[in-house]
Amino acid sequence: MHGRLTDPGCTIGTDPRADPRMVKALAQFGLDKHMPLPSATPDAPMAERLAAVAATEKRMGRVLEQLAQTLPSPTGVVTMTTTIAGVDGNDIALYITHPNPIGAELPGVVHFHGGGMAINGVTDLSYTRARENLAATGLVVIGVEFRNAGGRLGPHPYPAGLNDCASAIRWTYANRADLGISHLITCGESGGGNLTLTTLHKAKREGWLNEIAGAYAQCPFLSGRWYEQPDELPSLKECDGYFLTREIMGLAAAVYDPTGENAHDGACYASRATDDELSGLPPHVISVNEIDPLRDEGLLYYRRLVRAGVPAVGRVVVGTGHGCDLLLGGYLPDVFAATIRDVSGFAKSLA
């Protein structure tokens, strides 16, 4: 056992497994200690939940913006924007980044940002830099401004964000020739990792799974059981407070699915998909961070995919906390580059 399972006072700053470069970066903001708790609990009145989510978005947004200033800013890529109609009649902004010139057809990546399906946005610098660095490897990357369950792009609970992500995939596939795309994968981290996976379940139910060649989910936020911390997911206790707390995760769930009526739906939380729903899915990569509360739910999902006959690869980014291989790329340049290469290599391998 490790972390808080052996020492309840352990933090990401004192855990001996933590990459010291990551700890130094987080310590600037006091985040090498236990994360601050939100101002509301998941059972608080909805107005209080939403206010707490909005406050978390503002507080963490300032931190992530400063961290993103150190991320690599590649040359030779350009970004264009377009707006498409969603299935709910709403407008969805897409940010399409590609090499300049684009040349021959390239793999496409439909990318969903993190934030527990509740906060953050496609134009946040962390996600912009991630898309630019992916595009610089020879990909066309489409960032999706999906509706959030809270924060500045909310409140739009499930299935609003999922519907927007599905609309973006279908538009990209239908326009792949004009975009210079040969085939496409879904990709995202944290809440975007869940959407990466749940869009496949939606596609399978609705009969358009053939439009997605594969899925690359990073530190996916997919169990819906963060507040209860079940024994079968020990990392939820082992790494609680390591850049994430069960209270923050539970609060995100409490605005994404406010009544809990979708708690067992695999299109809401991918981990709830049945074995039959997993079978027949396209190739996956499930990438997790070693000292992340979400590590074990990602690994469990990977093992279920393999048992269901899905071609799948599991990847553990050692020494890192939740999403830190991407968010702290300026402090962990070799780790950041390895993750970018792995996503790109996976997308290209499916040609």
Mean pLDDT along residues 5-34: 97
Q: Which two tokens stand for residue 296?
A: 């074990």
Mean pLDDT along residues 205-215: 98
Total of domains in the chain: 1
Closest-CA residue to 88 (of 26, 19, 40, 159): 159
Q: Which residue has the higher pLDDT, 225 or 1?
A: 225
Query: b/e map of 242-259 (b: 16 or more CB within 10 Å)?
Result: bbbbbbbbbbbbbbbbbe
Quick one: how far is CA 193 from the chain centroid? 3
pLDDT at 40 over 90: yes
Query: b/e map of 127-156 (b: 16 or more CB within 10 Å)?
Result: bbbbbbbbbbbbbbbbbbbbbbbbbebbbb
Place 61 in a pLDDT band, splitting at 50, 70 and 90. Answer: very high
Place 1 in a pLDDT band, splitting at 50, 70 and 90. Answer: confident
Mean pLDDT along residues 97-104: 90
Can you tell me the distance from the alpha carbon of 98 to that of 179, in angstroms, rounded to the nearest whole number? 9
Place 231 in a pLDDT band, splitting at 50, 70 and 90. Answer: very high
Mean pLDDT along residues 115-125: 98
pLDDT, residue 104, reads 86
Place 351 in a pLDDT band, splitting at 50, 70 and 90. Answer: confident
pLDDT at 103 over 90: no
pLDDT at 101 over 90: no
Residue 330 sits in which domain range? Answer: 3-349
Mean pLDDT along residues 96-102: 93
Each residue's pLDDT tens digit, 164-198: 999 999 999 999 999 999 999 999 999 999 999 99
Closest-CA residue to 250 (of 290, 294, 288, 286): 294
Each residue's pLDDT tens digit, 125-169: 999 999 999 999 999 999 999 999 999 999 999 999 999 999 999
pLDDT at 85 over 90: yes
Q: What is the CATH number of the domain that holds 232?
A: 3.40.50.1820
pLDDT, residue 36, reads 87
Mean pLDDT along residues 236-261: 96
Each residue's pLDDT tens digit, 321-345: 999 999 999 999 999 999 999 999 9
Give the whole-number percent of the chain exceeding pLDDT 90: 97
Return the ∠ at Cα 119 (arms to 318 and 24), rounded to 5°: 35
Phi, psi of 293 (to 5 degrees): -55, -30
